[in-house]
A and B are shown apart, each in its own frame.
Chain A
Amino acid sequence: MIVLHAEILIFVAVAGTAVVLTRNPLSQVIGLTFYGLLLALMFFIFQAPDVAFSQIVVGAVALPLMVLLALAKIRNREVKQRMHHER
């Protein structure tokens, strides 16, 4: 069990670094969702099922939705600016 705890902590650290080092926001959202699920697994291994429940529904449902909608709005406006300039 001790090995499992150490492994999951190292996975979380590596996944957090990967989320930060991904520069493109769209790829980063996918990484963030996976990071949220990995965190929920860590909460479960450390005997915290309530917190794991909360993290799964928030980190995999609510958070990526809002980030993707914000990215869609920003991208729409940038594409329209570019189409306007090309006229």
Chain B
Amino acid sequence: MTYLPYFVAAWLLIVGLYGIITSRHLVHLIMCLVVVQTSTYVLLLAIGFRYGAIAPVFADVPVGTPAVDSVVQALMLTDIVVEATVVALLLALAIKAHERTGSADPENLGLMRG
């Protein structure tokens, strides 16, 4: 149990990579990339957690109460919002690739023509 979140993070990474490699549709590939990104959240969250501790918000509790790590939470927070915009950029690329080649299959994208 003490190492379960680390195994879950590795499993999500491997499963997401498997989905990317064996994908037949560009949008399916992008959503598997989202799963890979969430594996890093699980890992960061598990590192900062402490049993019996509260959230790092001291609005109504005294300052000395044991709280979980706030630095890793700050890293995850910006990462989530930025991930959504990067997915938007990748979706724009997928739309353009479908327009130029006529199919959304990564196998049919072929070599670069120039």
Residues of A within 8 A of B (CB): 1-2, 6, 9-10, 12-13, 16-17, 19-21, 23, 25, 28-29, 32, 35, 39, 42-43, 46-51, 54-55, 58-59, 62-63, 66-67, 70-71, 73-74, 77, 81
Contact = CB atoms under 8 A, between A and B. Distances in A.
Contacts of B25: 23, 25
Interface residues of B, number: 50
Given A16-B38, A39-B41, A48 B73 contact: yes
A47 B112 CA distance: 48
Interface string B1-34: 1001100100110011011000011011011101
Interface residues of B, dominant DSSP: helix
25 contacts: A2-B51, A6-B1, A9-B42, A12-B12, A13-B11, A16-B12, A16-B15, A19-B35, A20-B19, A20-B35, A25-B25, A28-B28, A35-B35, A43-B45, A46-B68, A47-B49, A49-B55, A51-B76, A58-B81, A58-B83, A66-B87, A67-B31, A74-B27, A74-B95, A74-B98
